Chains A and B, each alone.
Chain A
């Protein structure tokens, strides 16, 4: 069923290969940026993907890219389709879809705060979402080192010991090796 939908859209929107994961009703597909809005509109209005499950980002720091994932759900046919979109990491400007799904505005606000991806035109996108008074770089970016930040901000209590879980369990379970 997913294949049929994919075949209908593939050529018109120059979609990437269909990537079926773990179960039959879940697939991901790469998408070029200029087709984001047409594809989303078509999926919502024609193919019955009425529900935006989530909008999230992945930081591919080695490729200098942010990947936006739009996860859509077709309730009637029980299909989940993820659209993957790659952005330039240094530019990091996405396209707002709050007019297609109003919930997207909240996700975009979160991405703006946690990844520093801008969504011009999205309502209240520049207001603080979870963090208050944050002055450092967006904390979900992979070049933000949360351990280093934590140690430079809060002092550890003396006497605190940490052990690597793998080494610790190895010593307990296989002391001879």
Chain B
């Protein structure tokens, strides 16, 4: 098997663009949040400084191999999610490693990071980590249910498991988007979207005011830097999937930037106006509202 060097180069470039985009965008979102509450907010390049600062810490301690691998798995989840999904539709350069069954793989990758993190944080032996993981995993699991059902619904609708084909079917006008052809499935998926973006009202797991910031309690310096990178990469990668599945994908980087920002703002807007749910409340919420909509989506197809 020959190695396709240009493709790897483009994949690396995709990663680079998306990480920088994510850095700026998350800072921008925080700035918007600050302006809403009447503050000036963080500097737009603050994320970069924090990242370098964390890498530049002089001492770091480890709790064993799994502890070390936790952030690595987490980042692998984000990178894998991004690279196995076509970022820009219709472009050979930016389709990266997408293939016939990539939708299933993407679903798997959404969960992969959390699981890796669970293993790593558990090894740190900090009780808060263990509690944080339990809460995080149960919330993510139940939030993913509507998404899985929505994905089944649209894969039945389009008769394919290939994201590129799904995007292709949505081309040619805004009313070909799944958003309009299958609004129930979109709604179900948006439940999951808001639930897994780790923003209010579903961010009790990593909230500093709760059990101190949950799973990453023990992580510092370069470990934390890896997780910070993932924190900006992963939401974008996830948003890309939603964009591809429900909002017609993107045909160039400009459209990509606008759409991702718009979709991301859904969770931000929900978060700004809603207080935090407790874990059991959010689980009840997803089982009561998210799951029936997902089931309905399948029945309607």
* Chains A, B in direct contact (C-beta < 8 Å): no
Residues in chain A within 8 A of chain B (CB atoms):
none
